Structure formats: structure tokens, C-alpha cells
Structure 1
Amino acid sequence: MSDRTPPPNWFESGGKAYAAFRPDYPDALVAYLGEIAPDQDLAVDVGCGTGQLTALLAQHFRKVVGIDPSAEQLANASQHPLVEYAQAHAESLPLPDGCASLVVAAQAAHWFDLPRFYREVRRIARKPAALALVGYGAPRFEEGSLQSRFARFYEQEIGPFWPPERRLVDQGYATIDFPFPEFAPPLLSIQRRWDLNQVLGYFSTWSAVKRAVLAGKAEIIQSFQDDLRSLWQREDEAKSICWPIMIRAGAIE
């Protein structure tokens, strides 16, 4: 019997866990978004969550507005003197006509009613402006044993609990409707070295994990956690993990 402190219960999480465990975007992505905008007056981050991208945009824009429907997410959002937050849905943005130089949705567009969102984008854009739908796909572990176990979890075990919209992420947003003249984005990825608790915390923020627990299938997640703990061996050891970044970007004319 081990007398070590039990691991945290990662599966009771909300906006605070989302802020703590979702990976930040790289500076190269933020720089690209600054480049495609015609000016740096106002960037609007729709579906901003806890502001993983929102605050970073303030490096390139004089003002940034983050918008999300979740009060809990916004309560845990990253603060910056150039950033304001508002609670609203993507299909009804609380902004005046012709105000935005850049509209971006980060890891969020697959949840939107896209035709209604695009109407709002065209309304608030100060033409010409830029729109970018960005996100990241499933993570990949550098170590083969970890990647093999994760792939089984992602594709077979937790897969049935993903909402249908997740397919758009797995397809790299390639099939998403995007009725704007497109730019050719760079190939980017998120690179991190995380310990086991950080990885488990990240998985706890997945909608599929929450759905599995609500469906009474927490044993699937517990088994995956136990296997990762065994494969990891030293829980405080940082291991390499990366996420491919997907970008659909274009001009609002």
C-alpha cells in the first residue's frame, strides 16, 4: 500500500481548469494574425473562453475584445489592460457595425451556427478586414508507448462521446464552410513539455470526457489515467507533446 497523497480528481473541472490546462498559442500565430489584418486598431476574439489567445493579441492590436457565452469561462479569463470581455453568443455580437480590423475564433468555430456567425462578421468588419478560424488538433506524444495508448483512447474509447462537431477539428477545418477569399497560412504547431498532472488536467477539459462521466462511463477515463501513470513512471517528469495548428484565414471585403 502506498501512503502518497492521492492524485487530484481531474474530472471535476470548469473554467478554472480550462484556464490552467489548455495550451497557449505560439507567438508565431499571433504575429501572423497581426500581419493579415489591414491595421492594428481592433481585434475581436469570438468564443474566447478563458482568453488563451485574447490577451496575446494585445501584443499586436491597440484594443482587443474577447466574447464568450460562458460567464464561468470569462470569470477565469486572462486580464490585460488592452483587453475587454463581453458575454454573448457568436451569432449576436455586442459590437457596432464596421469596427473590427480582425475577427478570430480560436478552437471555437466548430460550435458556431456558421451562416449566422458569418453575417455578424461581415457586419462588424471594417472592410477590408481579416477573419481567421484557428484551432489545434489532437495532441501527439513523442514517446511511442504514450502515443499508442493515447491513440487507442482517442479513437476507440472516448471517441463515441465526442459531439459531431469534433469531426471538423479532426479534419483540420478543411471541410468547414469558409466563403471568403483565402490566404495561405503558415504551418504551425504548439510544442510543450508537460508532466503527467498537466496532461491529465488538459484531458479533464475535454467535452468528451465530461460526457463520458455523465454517461456513467468514468471507468474508461480511470483506466486511461492508470495506464498513463504506469507508462509515465515518474509523474513529475516533463515529456514532449505537440498539437498541429489549423488555420482558415481570409479577407472580409
Structure 2
Amino acid sequence: MELSLDLSTVAYGNDGDTAGYATSEGTWLRVQWRPRWRLAEQAWTGAEAASVLRGVARPELLRSMRWADQDRDVVWKAEELTLIGSKAVAPNGTPTADPGLSDAWWVSLKTSLTALAAHPTGRVGMGQEHLSLRIAEVYGGEVATVVEEWTTAHADLHWGNLTAPDCWLLDWEDWGAGPRGLDAATLWGFSLGVPALADRVLAEFADDLATRSGRLAQLLFCANVERAFRRSGREMPFTGPAIEAGKRLLSELPA
């Protein structure tokens, strides 16, 4: 089957190595490339591996193909997925105003994340070593970072990977095991520039975020934000609130 691409619909990935297009068949084509030495990375097979997930609102992978580019020494992959009609809540991942999501939207998100959390996997979305190193890099040894509860997570759940008015979860490159509450903590962090939205995330996912693992996941987000700010000096809507939240979380988590 041949597909024609609507070039006006192009959406580029944040790292510049993916592009997506609506097709003449009413589907979505995602094209990506990797140098050969990166083909072993789990992100390369994320959409394929996500095909086993049930009860999660996500695009379905219909077919894929790969081909080698000898001249550039890279491998290309094209994945045809079901087309999601709803748009990203915030294409850059960070809302600047309350998006006014319905109660049904929140129920759908919680249903998807609950189903995902229960799914067994050998993939790693956020490992203990990385979490401990990043928190220690920013806060030193002020807090014990051993995670006691692990679930399966999307592991990149910002507002650019969620749609509305219907709630769909996009971009499944990084999914895998992570601390309980990782997805909720990430979404909370990217919401901090809009206090009402951050509070809604805290309320909807209170059971996960109130756990020690959930607090460590929140502290990880704050550490990443403060680290990035120290390096670049660039402020995002969530930068100041995240730095302040990090101080609070340090006082709540024992050393």
C-alpha cells in the first residue's frame, strides 16, 4: 500500500530525529532515524513493545519497516499508527494557562495509568542508579534515595504527550519500570507554572504522590529542573516553583 503524506501536518520530535505526518489513509506516519550504534537503545522499539499494553489509551501500531542508509551510516524506520484526532494539550509540554480539562478526561488518564502500572515489563523507564545520581548531584546526600515501590510507567508524561478533549497518551519510546508515581510526578512538575493545574494533578494522584517513592519522583523532577537552570540560566514557567518545591520535599524526606 502506498501512502501520501500531508506535509502541512508535520510534527518534529524534540531531539530532531523524528518527524510525523498525517497520511492519505487517515493514519499517522512516524519516521525516525538512528546511527547504527544506537539501535540497541530501548527507545528504538518503544512503539512496538507498547503493542502488548491493554487498557491504555494510545495509538495502535499498524505496521513498520526499516531500511539502512549506507551513505549516512544510519538506519531509518517508518511506523504507521492510528491517527489521533485530539491535539496535544501543550505542544511544547508546558502549559501557561489552565487547559480546562473535563472530569471525564481525568478519569480516562487515571484509568490508562492504572492499567499501565500493573503491566509487567523488563524495560526500564527510570532506574534507581539514574535517580540516585541526579538527586545527589543537586542536593548532595541530604536524602536517602532508595525506591521501595516500582510500577510500569510511560516515563515521559508531559503535556505534549497528552491530548484533549479526548485523553490519549502519545510517544511510547521510553516506557518501562519506574518509581511508583513517576508519571504523576512528571506531569505535576510540568504543571507548576499553573498552580491550579498542579494542584489538580496532586489531588487526582494523591495516593501515588504521597508515598515515599512518589515524593522521590517529585524530587527527581525538581533536581532535573534546578540542574538545567544552573547550567543554562534559562527559566521555564515551572523553574521557580520547582526549585521551591525541591526545598520542601527535602524537608519531608528523611536522610
Band the TM-score falls in, shorter-chain normalisation: under 0.3
Which has the higher relative contact order, 1 or 2, with Cα contacts under 8 A spaced 6 or more apart?
A: 1
